[in-house]
Amino acid sequence: MLEWLSANIANIIILAIVAVIVVLIIRKMIKDRKAGKSSCGCNCAGCAMAGSCKSKAKK
């Protein structure tokens, strides 16, 4: 078991870093969604889905 860990330590570290980054991105998306921010980052004027946007329904 220790031999396998030592042979794959670089892969394990990279996977852990990627997993942490993904968790942080998801957490930020959830936080922004609760705050009512748009996920696309642009205005609704040119959006094809502007009529079904939740931010417009709140206004």
Quick check: is 51 in a domain? no
The overall average pLDDT reported for the chain is 82
Q: Is the confidence at residue 54, as pLDDT, over 90?
A: no
Provide the pLDDT confidence category of residue 48 given band limits of 50, 70 and 90: confident
Q: 59 lies in a domain?
A: no
Name residue, tokens 């969604």: 33
- 27 lies in which domain range? 1-37
Instruction: Give the total number of structural domains in the chain.
Output: 1
What gap in Å lies between CA 58 and CA 54, rounded to an integer?
A: 6
Higher pLDDT, 21 or 35: 21
Residue 42 has pLDDT above 80, yes or no: no
Query: What would the mean pLDDT of 35-51 be, rounded to a whole number?
Result: 69
Determine the average pLDDT of the residues in 14-20: 98
Sequence length of the chain is 59
With residue 57 as reference, give the H or E element that holds it. helix 54-58
